Structure 1
Amino acid sequence: MKIAIASWVNVSSLNDYFDHPVPKELAHLGAPATAVTNIIKGLHELGHEIIVYTLDFRTEKRHIFKGERITFIVEKERHRARYKLWDGWKFETDQIAKLTHEFPADIYHAHWSYEYALGLIKAKVPHLITFRDDSWEILKYFKDVYRLGKFNLDRRVRAKGENFSVNSMYLQQQLSGFRKQLPIVPNPVNPHCIQPKARPFPQHKTIKIISILTGFQKRKNPKKALEAFSHLKKIMVEDLEFHIYGSGFDQGQAGYEWALAHQLTDKVTFHGYTPYDQLIAELPNYDLLFHPALEESFGNTLLEGMAFGIPVVAGQDAGAVPWVLAHGKAGQLVDVHDAKKMAEGIKSVLLNKEVYERLTHAGLARIHNTFATATIAQKYVDLYDKILKDIPLEV
């Protein structure tokens, strides 16, 4: 089957699949989308031919990268948000529609319900659109004109699109007013993260805790996370370190400056933005993954932590998080609105060998049983077959 993927994807994330390495000056093109990259790899490993359409404002011309059964096209988009808002992303959606005619496929799959999805709808091609967030929920956290424009894009996609899926039970429930029982296909884990066995209870002197946050924003809950670590130091005698990765958390940036102003930097290391490959290489050095987000439509970081056998502490009502963590069987669920309760939850894992090792084993088992790349890729192929045979998509 020839499958076209329309989405944000970073070209360098598929470098190993091309006949020639991506030139350094072009490696930045596209945008990181870990789950989509893993899906592409899974579909390719199943023997399918893949075409990727992505847009980037940092190029003035089209770039094409090719390999065995894969073609990756980067097309121009506009840089100015106001132009996109003015005409409802017409130029961008036209670009995607044009690519479907120049680089045709049997089935077309858009990720997220925005310009890539609307481009496929314009092209009138057989399509699947995967919701990866709830535009209304995003708008509640980011009250700005740009997000309002995205919300309107999403509504146009819902009105005109035909076939949809979601990546979590949480999103299925959130979108039940739009369509009931949308098929769930979870995000796949990066197979390079999966360890052959779970890790033992830490015996070393210093215990290292990691949080991976995308921006100093309310939805990711960094302030409560820093307060929780401050409290954790008071209720544990062990030597603790807290390492925060992500944009906004480098020295001089908003997250660091807030922590400094509130005297919450002791034993905290602010790593700032870290490239994905480097982050994955460093993740196994940590003893516990602390995920304080208030809401997640999925949470790829949770998968990577479980795959490395790292116990996870995360929100009991944080969107898809409880479902990803098997409702507490594969991770410790806590009230992320309460710093002291978060600290107590972390302590309960770090001071209890039985709990620690139970979570590492359960997390790794859930990865194998639910989030393996080949399994996820085949679930999508099954949906593609139904669409091409005009069979209604059901759970």
Structure 2
Amino acid sequence: MTIGISGPVDLKLLACDLGSENLPDTNAFPLVSHLINALLKRGYKVIAYTNSGTITEPLVLHGHNLTVCVARTKPQPGRRFFRYEINELKNLMQQHPADVIYAFWTYEYAWSALKSGIPTIVSIHDIARKIFLTQCDMFRFVRLIMNKIVTTRARHLAANSSYTYSQLSKSLKKKTVTLNNFFTSDIEDTVTKPEQKENYIVSVINGFNTRKGVPLALHAFAKVREAFPDVNYHLIGVDMEPDGLAHAYAKQHNLEQGVKFLGPLVHDNLIQLVANAKVLLHPSREESFGMAVIESMVVGTPVVGGRESGFIPHLLDHGKAGLLCNVYSADEVAAAVKKLLSDDAFARDVAAYAYRFAQDNFSEEVVVKQHLELYESIISKYYPQRVRKETALEEGNF
């Protein structure tokens, strides 16, 4: 079985020598690369389809059991409904076909896979309608239309959490399964768990807007610091860099004290900072999953998250694997953080339960097995003669 993975692949995270030291910059989401690595680790052949704005010709890279096809992009793709990007990816898929394609997000990576004619599973990782309602601009409108077209045309959908599934229409639910996001099996090997936590809390958030909750989190931290004047707050992610949007807001509202604006970081550095923190504050008001939360659970840092923030309550086992609060209230957020800061034994108990819950439900071993079962079921529908032949060979009936 040759598995195609279409999405924003971080080439530098791939556990495979692609025969080139000068890998192009690509749109990147770590989970896509982690899934590819997990499949390679289990001996499967993988073809990855991604794109880059830094190449002048389509690029095909080869490694052991892995082929990476990199398509070109052009500036301002939303103005063209990503037509150029979709056709570039589709052409590479047809030139280098897989047996089945698992496509991340309901936008250009999935649309191109559907147009390729190859059996495709479209993975739903966000709720386009909700995002558009909170970020009402032309780009998000284009994404909303793309989402509608892709989910309607797709025969097979996979929601990344039960929350994402719950937001779908009845007609879409009929062709959707739930495949949770997962954390990698080697995440614990990349961090050194501290004997004693350092005196700061941390948030890993990409995007400074009301939906992500950082403005309120800054106000909540000011209240935390009234009780714990020596504690600091590390902000990691896009828009969290020095003199970025979050920093400008903090200056404007006199909320800079004790806050370190770190911006985007290499994942290994990011996860070590999370492991060293006393609390991960996740102020987002809506999450289809919550990768920062699950990784914090795995590295032993207790989490504060939203009581009604999409999948977060489920991820935190309804308050057993972390503290849930009203993330619309700075007072409630501050109270939850202070509860963990004031009781080390309680914080350790919460973190220990969270670790076990994460291992049992969201580990690579658990989730990738579900992926493989889905891929095989789709292939058996589209290639029944080949499946019967392979079964006969395995049984010696030839």
Check whether TM > 0.5. Answer: yes
Paired AA for residue 184 in structure 1: T
2:135 maps to 1:142: yes
2:69 to 61, 67, 73: 73
**Change in 2 beyond 3 A, CA 1:100/1:185:** same
2:16 maps to 1:17: yes
Number of matched residues? Answer: 381
Q: Which residue does 1:300 correspond to in 2? A: 291
Q: How far did residue 185 of structure 1 move?
A: 1.0
2:175 maps to 1:184: no
1:224 to 194, 209, 216: 216
Where does structure 2 lack aligned partners over 5 or more consecutive residues?
A: 383-398
Paired AA for residue 255 in structure 1: A
Paired AA for residue 188 in structure 2: I
**Change in 2 beyond 3 A, CA 1:109/1:332:** same
CA distance in 2: counterparts of 1:281 and 1:345, whole angstroms: 23
2:331 maps to 1:340: yes
Q: How far did residue 119 of structure 1 move?
A: 1.0
Q: How far did residue 21 of structure 1 move?
A: 4.9
Q: Which residue does 1:364 correspond to in 2? A: 355
* 1:29-40 mapped onto 2 (5 Å cutoff): 29-40=25-36
**Change in 2 beyond 3 A, CA 1:250/1:97:** closer
CA distance in 1: counterparts of 2:85 and 2:189, whole angstroms: 41
Q: How far did residue 170 of structure 1 move?
A: 0.6
2:238 to 239, 247, 253: 247
The two structures, once aligned, show a CA RMSD in angstroms of: 2.2
Q: Which residue does 1:116 correspond to in 2? A: 109
Q: How far did residue 280 of structure 1 move?
A: 2.3
2:343 maps to 1:352: yes
Superposed CA deviations along residues 256-297 of structure 1, whole A, max 9, x for unmatched, are 111011111111111122222321233222111111011111
1:314 to 282, 301, 305: 305
Paired AA for residue 17 in structure 1: C
User: Taking CA–CA contacts closer than 8 Å with sequence separation of 6 or more, which of the two structures ends up with the larger relative contact order?
Assistant: 1
Q: How far did residue 193 of structure 1 move?
A: 2.4
Q: How far did residue 130 of structure 1 move?
A: 0.6
Any idea what SS the aligned residue of 1:231 has?
helix
2:247 to 256, 262, 284: 256
Percent identical: 26
Q: How far did residue 20 of structure 1 move?
A: 2.9
Work out whether residues 300 and 355 of structure 2, in 8 Å CA contact, stay in contact via their aligned partners in 1.
yes
Paired AA for residue 139 in structure 2: Y
1:41 to 37, 40, 43: 37
Work out whether residues 73 and 85 of structure 2, in 8 Å CA contact, stay in contact via their aligned partners in 1.
yes
Work out whether residues 121 and 155 of structure 2, in 8 Å CA contact, stay in contact via their aligned partners in 1.
yes
Any idea what SS the aligned residue of 1:157 has?
helix
Q: Which residue does 1:106 correspond to in 2? A: 99
Paired AA for residue 59 in structure 1: I
Work out whether residues 139 and 148 of structure 1, in 8 Å CA contact, stay in contact via their aligned partners in 2.
yes
CA distance in 1: counterparts of 2:224 and 2:279, whole angstroms: 13
CA distance in 2: counterparts of 1:224 and 1:52, whole angstroms: 39
Any idea what SS the aligned residue of 1:216 has?
coil
Q: How far did residue 200 of structure 1 move?
A: 9.0
CA distance in 2: counterparts of 1:199 and 1:56, whole angstroms: 36
CA distance in 2: counterparts of 1:337 and 1:212, whole angstroms: 18
CA distance in 1: counterparts of 2:351 and 2:191, whole angstroms: 9
Q: How far did residue 37 of structure 1 move?
A: 1.6
Superposed CA deviations along residues 187-209 of structure 1, whole A, max 9, x for unmatched, are 1113332379997995x7x6210
Paired AA for residue 35 in structure 1: L
Any idea what SS the aligned residue of 2:234 has?
strand
CA distance in 1: counterparts of 2:31 and 2:137, whole angstroms: 27
CA distance in 1: counterparts of 2:135 and 2:195, whole angstroms: 40
Any idea what SS the aligned residue of 1:294 has?
coil
Any idea what SS the aligned residue of 1:146 has?
helix
Any idea what SS the aligned residue of 2:166 has?
helix
**Change in 2 beyond 3 A, CA 1:311/1:66:** same
